[in-house]
Every structure is written in structure tokens, then in C-alpha cells.
Amino acid sequence: MGRLDYRTLRENVLDEIRMKILRGELVPGERIVEQELASEFGVSRGPVREALRQMEEEGLIEYARNAGCSVRQIGPEDIYEIYYMRANYEMMAVKLYGSPFPEETLMRMRQILEQMMQLDCSAYREVFELDNRFHEQIMDLVPFQRLKKAWEDFEKKVLKVQKDFEQKHSK
């Protein structure tokens, strides 16, 4: 039997709200009502509020006094910053690893690149998913948990940016 991961109610709520944003059920600028989400998820407002605070720290949600939370619009400057930070985390990971990549890792990376080359240019979702898998190969080599956590936080932002791009270009 596999190991079970313990997840708090806040983490479950966080994932559900994030998925609602990624699926386009909550769109940029849309006001988020804590009580509505709490009722939908069958939880109190506390875990919803905690999840929204974390998402505000991640840059996915904006909080305005007397107006509450809304889904944040991500612009070109945000995209530049996110990818710049992602690249720096990955460069740090490579330096910290300090050895040639294992052949298995390089083989997986080559396979991912080959899959990407087979895709049609309009297959945004598949390109983004493969791109994320490619970059995960680098981070999987590093034993530094805080670096991995910071990179994972940026990956969540990257997913949001990619989803916004896909929605804009699939119309």
C-alpha cells in the first residue's frame, strides 16, 4: 500500500479554488464571495479565507478593502517576472546539483522535447504540460526542499499564466 499524504482542509480548499480559476469558472476581475465558496465546498468560511490569503500571496487573488477578493488579471510584466524568477530558480538548482545530469534524467528530457516537437502549434495545453514536465526534471534532482517549494509556488503562477494564454488564443 502506498503512503498517504496528510492534507489540511485549507489545502483542499486552496486546490479547489485554484482549479476553479484554471478551469475558467472564476475569471480575472470576478469577485470571490467567501460564503458562497464555503457553502459550495461544505466548509466554514475559515479555510476559505485562509486559502484566499495564500492565493493573494501567490499573486492569483487581489484583495481590496471594502470590496473583498477577486481573481487577479495577469499582464505581460507579470509573465516576464514569473518566467525570469522560474529561470533563476532552475539555474540555482543546476549549480547546487553541481554534477552532470544522470543519463535517465537526460533521456526523460529528450523524450519530452521529442513529444513537444510532434505537437501541432495550436496544442497550447499539451505544450504547457510538457514544458512543465521538462522543467520538473531539473528540480527533481535537487535535495533543497525550500528551493523546491519556492519553485513549486512559481509553477502555480506559471500554470495560471498558461491558462490565461490558452483562453485568449483559443477563441
Tell me whether strands 61-64 and 68-71 are parallel, antiparallel or unpaired.
antiparallel
Count of beta carbons in the 10 Å neighbourhood of residue 60: 23
Residue from 137, 139, 163 nearest 151 by CA: 139
User: What pLDDT score was predicted for residue 26?
Assistant: 87
User: What pLDDT score was predicted for residue 153?
Assistant: 76
User: What pLDDT score was predicted for residue 36?
Assistant: 94
User: What pLDDT score was predicted for residue 120?
Assistant: 82
Within the chain, which residues score under 50 in pLDDT?
1
pLDDT digits (tens, 9 = 90+) for 99-126: 999 999 999 999 999 999 998 877 767 8
Place of cell 501567490: 58
User: What pLDDT score was predicted for residue 171?
Assistant: 56
Place of cell 535517465: 104
Q: At CB < 8 A and 24+ separation, what contacts does 14-22 make?
A: 14/50, 14/51, 14/54, 14/55, 16/41, 17/48, 17/51, 17/52, 17/55, 18/55, 18/60, 18/156, 21/60, 21/71, 21/160, 21/163, 22/159, 22/160, 22/163
User: What pLDDT score was predicted for residue 1?
Assistant: 46
